[in-house]
Amino acid sequence: MRALLGQATGFYFSGSATSTGDTTSLIDTKVMRYDTGKLTNLWALMLVCTQTSIQGTSRRVSSSIASSGDMTLVNALAATTTSADTYELLPYDPEIMQAAIQEAIRTVWPKPFPGSRAPKGLYRSDPDETLMVDNLLLNPSFETSTTGPVAFTNWTSIGSPTLATDTSLRVHGTQSARIDATGATEGLEQNILSRVDIADAAGKTLHVRGWLWALTADIARLRVTFNGTTFTNGPYHQGGGDWESPSTQKIDVAIPAETTTAQEMTISAEVAESGTALVRVDLVVAWIDPIAEYTMPAAFYPNGPSRVLQQVYEDKPEGLYLPITTPIPGRILRLTGAGRLTVPTTDAGTTEVDENEAELIIAEAAKHMFAMLGDKDKSQEWERKANELRASVGHLLPGADEHTYWHVSGDATRKLVLARR
């Protein structure tokens, strides 16, 4: 999008240095085809560089030598440019261009505009399945993880397992958690006590459901502990390289009374094996009481989804979904409708548009960019262009289902509220 914005508003060139310069020069013989006046005052944005300290930094070109492709930069870089360093030449400050693109992605949401009878714009329509009815576990499908080494957000390692993501063997979302255990009692756990009023929960039942995959029998299971020493165990996986579903992998345990000693409410996926055991775990949920209010995924804020569907069959998370009437604990909610576009924060980031829709974002970005630069005439010119594109490539908001069994709260939190009897 930065390239498209540069092309639309003046200039764009992507290249790599052909020889080593210094902290105030960038050399590329491929720019010799441009006259010196064309390159003056353009911005050079350093991308992938031998000296990593200059990656992502930009400097204005003050002059260039046509016979050598040597461009002199205003203000020194933190390190020397070297051969094969990649860069872009842009007509305006790259930081302003990036901020304008990000703002455009936020503001292409459907809205009324001159010449249109209905609000039109861009939004994402991908279904969201991150919410589960009454669930107390965070990151239940292990979709959020970090690398180097792999760790799963909100989950803590038991012992020292080697963790990995697996995008092939999964039951929900895009990945499962792979646990390679080399010693006894290793795995992943999560303490949900901070999300439970233990005094109120005492005597009630904690329900845990999950999916486990294992090649070897009697090494993988779900567990619950309230004190870190005494455990309620689910059944061991029977092996064979198959997924065992919540109809098998489940625990229902009474919650003890609050004590003055150390107390917890920890759910774990344990792998007990003296050799390396390649176990997968996915979609682990836990619940106690009905939960009416849910924090909506950011993409649907603040208006909410147009439809809320519920998983029909417990053992088929990618099977049939129907409009929710009676919430069933542990079931996945599928939210559909108009969601906010993802705003990229890195060069590798993406947003949910096609080529034609990208033209609207570029026009909207140019409007914002020239407003930032104080050029009112150009900003208004690009606003007219953006409105024309809204009419041609923009989309109307989808109609919402009748909100008989759910609604979005009217307060500032804008939560998804399910009707609970």
**Domain limits of the chain?**
2-91, 92-133+290-421, 135-287
Which residue type occupies 165? T
Could you check whether 2-91 and 135-287 share the same CATH topology? no
The Cα 366–Cα 173 span in angstroms is 36
| The pLDDT of residue 131 | 98
| The pLDDT of residue 367 | 98
Query: Looking at the domain that runs over 2-91, which CATH code has it been given?
Result: 2.40.30
The Cα 18–Cα 26 span in angstroms is 9
What is the torsion angle, in degrees rounded to the nearest 10, for the CA atoms of residue 273, residue 274, residue 276 and residue 280?
Answer: 10
Q: Are 237 and 221 in contact (CB under 8 A)?
A: yes
Asked if pLDDT for residue 143 goes beyond 70, the answer is yes
Asked if pLDDT for residue 118 goes beyond 90, the answer is no
| The pLDDT of residue 261 | 67
Asked if pLDDT for residue 275 goes beyond 70, the answer is no
| The pLDDT of residue 224 | 97
Query: Looking at the domain that runs over 135-287, which CATH code has it been given?
Result: 2.60.120.260
**Residues of the chain with pLDDT > 70: what percent?**
98
Specify the 3-state DSSP secondary structure of 359: helix
Asked if pLDDT for residue 122 goes beyond 80, the answer is yes
| The pLDDT of residue 324 | 94
| The pLDDT of residue 243 | 98
The Cα 217–Cα 241 span in angstroms is 9
**Residues of the chain with pLDDT > 90: what percent?**
81
Rg (CA), the chain: 28
| The pLDDT of residue 274 | 61
From residue 238, alpha-carbon distances to 85, 99, 223 in Å are 54, 54, 16
